[in-house]
Amino acid sequence: MVRRDAEGAAATGSAGGAGIGCSDGSGPERLRGRPDHRSPSGKLSGFIAKASPLAGPNGATIPVEQIQLLRVAYVRANVPTDKLGLADEWPDPLPPFDSPIDVDANRNQPVWLLIHVPGDAVAGIIAGR
């Protein structure tokens, strides 16, 4: 889970993610971006994420059509749902990330990648841009 106001690796405006995929299935990846609080406007306007083909071992590829980008949206819980919960914004819906959005300063905007891994995929590290 990525809390909307959490600090950490994304606090500098960088994005990072890690995950695994299974052949003949789908593998999730999560990235998060956070506008740098030192930017002049304090926010990131027109943010959009785009996928690229992924390249793996021995020339293996996963085409961009097999990658779905989903924007993590937040739902406000005004009342804690249990003893460990907080009245806060919680990440839940995953609408398609198909148009630019604005991200306020010091706020995280996770992006969920759903990668459809072919059944004949070779095990190994894959990379994209």
Tell me the per-residue pLDDT of 21-49, one tens digit each, with 9 for 90 and over.
444 455 555 666 666 655 666 788 888 88
Q: Which domain holds residue 37?
A: 9-117
Task: Tell me how many domains the chain contains.
Answer: 1
The residues, any chain, with a CB within 8 Å of residue 1's CB and separated by 6 or more, are: 90, 91
In angstroms, the CA 74 to CA 88 distance is 9
Q: Is residue 113 part of a domain?
A: yes
Return the pLDDT at 117: 86
**Quick check: is 87 in a domain?**
yes
Prediction pTM value:
0.68
| Residue carrying structure tokens 């995950």 | 19
Of residues 94 and 28, more confidence is placed in 94
With respect to residue 127, please indicate whether it lies within any of the assigned structural domains.
no
* Domain-embedded: residue 123: no
Q: Is residue 34 part of a domain?
A: yes
Is 70 part of a structural domain of the chain? Answer: yes
- Domain-located, residue 124: no
Query: Does the pLDDT of residue 105 top 90, yes or no?
Result: no
How far is residue 51's CA from residue 85's CA, in Å, rounded to a whole number?
Answer: 34
